[in-house]
Amino acid sequence: MTIAAEELAPLLAEIAAEASGRFGEGRLHATIPRLAQVDPNQFGIAVATLDGGIAKAGAADVPFSIQSISKVFSLCLALDYLGEDLWERVGRNPSGLRFNSLTRIEQEQGRPMNPFVNPGALVVADCLVDRAATPIHTMIGLLRRLAHSNRVSCDYEVAKSELSMAFRNYAAAALLKEYGNLRGEPRAVVHAYTHFCAARMSCVELARAALPLANEGRDPVTGAQILPPGRSRRVNSLMLTCGLYDAAGDFAYRVGLPAKSGVGGGIMAIVPNRMAIAVWSPELDPLGNSVAGFAALERLARDADLSVF
C-alpha cells in the first residue's frame, strides 16, 4: 500500500512529542569523548517516500554523527569494488557478541562474522583504502550524492576524539592483518574506518540517502541506478539480521524492518518498495541502540503498518 509523505506528518508529530517523555532513560555513548558532550535531549525523525516526498518532525534537520550507520554505505562501495568476492573475507551471520569484540576474530581465523561488527567493517574499509588515496572523500561524495545535499560532511573533531581512544579497533585491525585479511596498514585502515563513522548527516539527509535501498537500488528522485539489481535485497537482509547489534532479533520482532543503528543515536530503517526512515535521539540503551529512536520506529511501524512480515 502506498502512503504519501504528507499523510504521515501528523503521526510523526505525535511520535516526536511522545519521544521527549523518554529523555533520561538512556545514556550517551562514552567511549568517543566528543559524543559524550552532545545535548542528550534531542529527537528527530524523517521519512522519505519513493515519490520524492519528505515528512519530518522534531530535530530532523540537525546533523548528527552517523557512526555505524556508515557501515551500510561502505559495504555498498566495497561490493561495487569486489562483488561477491568480498564474502570470502567477511561472513554474513550475526556474531552474538558485542560489535567491537575481538573473540571471534581468533575463533574464525581472521574472517569476521559480518560487515556490521567492527572487525567486518574494518575489512570493508580496507577494500576502500585499497582503491582510493583519500577514502573519506569517496564516502562523503557518495553520501552527498545520495542525500542530494552538499551539507553532508566528516566531523574531523569526532574522528580525532575517537582515534584517541580506538585501542580496540587498532587491536582488531592488527589481528586481521596477522591473519592476512587486511591489505593496508592497520593504522591506515582504522583511520579510514573512523572517519567514515564520523560522517555527519541529518535525519532528512539520511532518509533520502537510504531511498535506493527501498527502491531496488534506484534513486527514485533522479532515476539513477545506484546499486546493481538485487544488491539492495542482500544489503537489507544483512541489516535485518545483523544491523541492530545484539538487539537485531528484538528489533525484527517489535519493528519488522531492515535497519542499521549507530552509537551516535541514529537508526536508519528501510521499508522495501515504500520508503526510508531515519530517526535520531542520542541516549542509548545498554546494547547501544537509541532508546527513543527504537520506540519511535516501533510505534511508526505499528501505526502505519510497515512491518515486512
At its nearest, how many Å lie between ligand GLU and the CB of residue 199? 11
Catalytic residue (one of 263, 271, 279, 291): 263
Site for ligand GLU in 101-130 (CB under 6 A): 118
Q: Which three cell numbers stand for residue 99?
A: 560489535
List 41, 100, 101, 225, residue binding ligand GLU (CB under 6 A): 100
Specify which residues 44 forms β-bridges with. Answer: 58, 280
At its nearest, how many Å lie between ligand GLU and the CB of residue 309? 25
Q: Which three cell numbers stand for residue 27?
A: 545514556
Q: Which residues of 205-216 are buried (b: 16+ CB within 10 A; e: fewer)?
A: bbbbbbbbbbbb
Task: Give the C-alpha separation, 46 to 209, whole Å.
Answer: 12
Task: Give the C-alpha separation, 238 to 95, whole Å.
Answer: 12
Q: Which three cell numbers stand for residue 72?
A: 551500510
Residue 245: active-site member:
yes
Residue 253: active-site member:
no
Site for ligand GLU in 65-94 (CB under 6 A): 67-68
- Report DSSP letters for 151-166, one per residue: T-EE-HHHHHHHHTT-
Which of 201, 275 has the CB closer to ligand GLU? 201
Catalytic residue (one of 47, 65, 70, 71): 71
What does residue 136 show for φ and ψ, rounded to 5 degrees? -65, -30
Residue 177: active-site member:
no
At its nearest, how many Å lie between ligand GLU and the CB of residue 53? 29
Provide the mask over 250-279, with x wherever binding to ligand GLU is found by CB under 6 A and - wherever it is not. ------------xx----------------
Size of the site for ligand GLU (CB under 6 A): 11
Task: Give the C-alpha separation, 273 to 292, whole Å.
Answer: 26
Contacts of 51 (CB under 8 A, 6+ apart): 4, 5, 220
Specify whether the CB–CB gap between 209 and 59 falls below 8 A: no
Site for ligand GLU in 133-172 (CB under 6 A): 162, 169
At its nearest, how many Å lie between ligand GLU and the CB of residue 277? 18
Which of 190, 211 has the CB closer to ligand GLU? 190
* 159: nearest Cα among 243, 74, 67: 67
Catalytic residue (one of 38, 47, 68, 261): 68
Which of 101, 307 has the CB closer to ligand GLU? 101
User: Mind telling me the catalytic residues?
Assistant: 68, 71, 193, 245, 263
Binding site for ligand GLU (CB under 6 A): 67-68, 99-100, 118, 162, 169, 197, 262-263, 288
